[in-house]
């Protein structure tokens, strides 16, 4: 393992010098390397981050956008409160930010739309074996967290969603490294239009260095926590609890 890690590091460095992102993408795209990074013996999340973790995900051109972007998982929400909000075009919807914060927030969509925006064309990779390239826009999650102000004990960012999975409210979580990654945004626009319900209206997470199931749709509330224990199944997300998927789904 040590030897192959060194070799990986060497490949990463070879991509540097104006082509750093291309180098990392090539590294990520190699199936053998993805396999190694994904689940090789003892290659921990920390080691993966040392290799490629802080890099940006590849960004594409408009011409690369998929003509059809599949909607997956929940494509609608049963909850009557959500349906009432949707019926009014989410005019009364508010994103709550609470838990281990200095200033709990309740942000209407108008506030989210007027914050500084990031737009990114990225590839979404679902574990079920499909990918699609789409354009996403919204404020960086880091900006929303800065508005709320984290308390020192905050370690995890939990996204509480309006839909359910196997009888429980849908949720996902990430750590502060992914939360403050520049491409981690709260997207309210997709492919130049308001986010459709099937894709998670009015707001969904884009956490571009992780697999599709981490990109929580229908986000209603963001909770800062010191631990994931005691929350639903305790594994940090609906897919983790119900299907045993990895909590850290780095790509």
Ligand X SMILES: Nc1nc2c(c(=O)[nH]1)N[C@H]1C(S)=C(S)[C@@H](COP(=O)(O)O)O[C@H]1N2
Q: Is there binding between residue 160 and ligand X (CB under 6 A)?
A: no
Q: Which of 20, 21, 40, 71 binds ligand X (CB under 6 A)?
A: 71
Asked if 161 and 241 count as a contact pair (C-beta separation under 8 A), the reply is: no
Residue 199 in tokens: 């894709």
Name the closest residue to ligand X (Cβ). 73
Q: Which run of H or of E encompasses 106?
A: strand 105-108
**What is d(CA 239, CA 231) in angstroms, rounded to the nearest whole number?**
14
Handedness of CA 36, 38, 44, 45 (dihedral sign): positive
Q: Please identify, among the stretches 33-41, 68-76, 82-90, 106-114, the one whose residues bind ligand X according to the rule CB under 6 A.
A: 68-76
166 versus 226: smaller Cβ distance to Mo ion: 166
Return the biggest CA–CA distance within the chain: 58
Work out what residue 12 binds among Mo ion, ligand X, none; the CB cut-off runs from 5 to 8 Å by kind: none
Residue 9 in tokens: 């590091």
Main-chain phi, psi angles of 77, to 5 degrees:
-130, 135
Report in angstroms how near the CB of residue 33 gets to Mo ion at its nearest: 22
Q: Is there binding between residue 65 and Mo ion (CB under 5 A)?
A: no
131 versus 227: smaller Cβ distance to Mo ion: 131
For Mo ion, the binding residues (CB under 5 A) are 126, 212-213
For ligand X, the binding residues (CB under 6 A) are 70-74, 126, 161, 163, 170, 199, 212-213, 215-218
């Amino acid at each position: 393992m040590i030897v192959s890690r060194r070799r990986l590091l060497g490949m990463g460095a070879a991509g540097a010098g104006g082509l750093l992102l291309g180098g990392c993408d090539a590294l990520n795209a190699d199936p053998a390397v993805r396999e190694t990074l994904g689940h090789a013996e003892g290659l921990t999340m920390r080691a993966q981050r040392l290799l490629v973790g802080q890099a940006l995900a590849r960004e594409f051109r408009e011409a690369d956008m998929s003509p059809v972007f599949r909607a997956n998982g929940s494509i609608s929400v049963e909850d009557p409160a959500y349906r009432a909000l949707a019926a009014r075009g989410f005019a009364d919807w508010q994103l709550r930010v609470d838990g281990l914060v200095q200033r709990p927030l309740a942000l209407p969509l108008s506030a989210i739309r007027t914050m500084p925006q990031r737009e990114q064309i990225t590839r979404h990779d679902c574990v079920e074996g499909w990918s699609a390239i789409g354009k996403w826009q919204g404020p960086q999650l880091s900006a929303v967290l800065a508005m709320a102000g984290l308390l020192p004990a905050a370690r995890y960012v939990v996204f509480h969603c309006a839909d359910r999975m196997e009888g429980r409210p849908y949720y996902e979580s990430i750590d502060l490294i992914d939360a403050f990654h520049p491409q981690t945004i709260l997207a309210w626009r997709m492919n130049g239009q308001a986010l459709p319900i099937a894709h998670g209206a009015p707001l969904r997470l884009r956490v571009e260095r992780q697999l599709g199931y981490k990109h929580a749709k229908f986000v209603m509330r963001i909770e800062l926590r010191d631990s994931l224990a005691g929350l639903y199944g305790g594994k940090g997300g609906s897919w983790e609890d119900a299907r045993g998927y990895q909590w850290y789904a780095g790509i």
